[in-house]
Amino acid sequence: WMIFAGAMGGLAAWLVNQGLLELVVVADQGARHLRYRVYFGNVVDMVPYYIGYGLTGLGVVAASATLGARVALITLAAPVAIVQTATNRWMREQQARATEAQSGFNATLVSLSKAIDLRDSDTEGHCRRVVEYSLMMGRFLKFSDDELLRLCHGALLHDIGKIGVPDAILHKPGPLTAEEWAVMRTHPHLGALMVADVRQLERAREVILAHHERFDGKGYPNGLVGDTVPLAARVFTIADAFDAMVSDRPYRRAMSLSDARSEVRRCSGTQFDPEAVAAFESISDSELEAAANKREQSTEELLSL
């Protein structure tokens, strides 16, 4: 019973500590971050650590009965303090390494997106703009931070498969033939294959593969219909189409913002998911203009959620 009581005391300390920490997060970032399943899934590994603390407390109580409280505390506190100090140092080092690795990964993604823009010079800055539009819609749809990050990664790399499309087709000034269109339409599959072995891009791969699918099933490469198209891809499709409409191309002038908005509304239920269209409608004209006109951003700013 004493051992059980020590373990339960450690568990209670864990619950109180993590509960207070979650309240701080909610106070700082808003109630939408109160997601018990995600949160406790990230900290459950600390349970054995706290149970060990509880059992240490049990040891203090047992030793106090024979050695006296002061001697017991001094005897047991020293090794606990040493372990705690070493643990804190190890955790700081691991956090610093993880931060450095994530920063390097983010910088790689942004560099790849710039390479994609350079590959298709007619769409300079396209990747950055569609990230902004997509994130604004994702926030309206209450995507979690993890979902927003995957959406951001997919938006940055959506056209990576065009690296495998021959220049003669990608840069052809006139209309493409049926055979050339068949080659062009392979780029979602090519892009998905390129990132298939990157574990961090597993969910972003859905956007890369499905960003030319349509809500009515007339898209490519797989002709998915309605909800079978991943929601992140349905959101991104609007961002991609809108940016294309409001950007100058060699074969046409850019549409006005109001005309592009009207076109998105017109295609609701056919090319676009009505739920995603509602999310797009929530974005004000000033927000769209700010995203379209924003200059080059740092890696940290671009990938900040």
Q: What is the pLDDT of residue 42?
A: 55
Q: What is the pLDDT of residue 122?
A: 57
Q: What is the pLDDT along the chain (305 residues), one digit of tens a residue?
A: 777 777 787 778 877 887 787 777 677 666 555 555 555 555 666 777 777 777 777 776 777 777 776 766 666 666 667 767 877 888 888 888 877 877 778 778 877 877 777 776 555 678 888 889 999 999 999 998 888 989 999 998 998 998 888 988 888 877 889 999 999 999 999 999 999 988 888 888 999 999 999 999 999 999 999 999 999 999 999 999 999 898 876 667 888 889 999 999 999 999 999 999 999 999 998 998 888 776 555 545 656 55
CA-to-CA dists, residue 105 to 100, 188, 199, 200, 242, angstroms: 9, 22, 12, 9, 28
Q: What is the largest CA-CA distance in the chain?
A: 92
Is the distance from CB of 194 to CB of 161 less than 8 angstroms?
yes
Q: What is the pLDDT of residue 118?
A: 73
Q: What is the pLDDT of residue 27?
A: 72
> 6-10 long-range CB contacts below 8 Å, 24 or more apart?
6/54, 6/55, 6/56, 6/57, 6/58, 6/59, 7/51, 7/54, 7/55, 8/54, 9/54, 9/57, 9/58, 10/50, 10/51, 10/52, 10/53, 10/54, 10/55, 10/57
Q: What is the pLDDT of residue 288?
A: 87
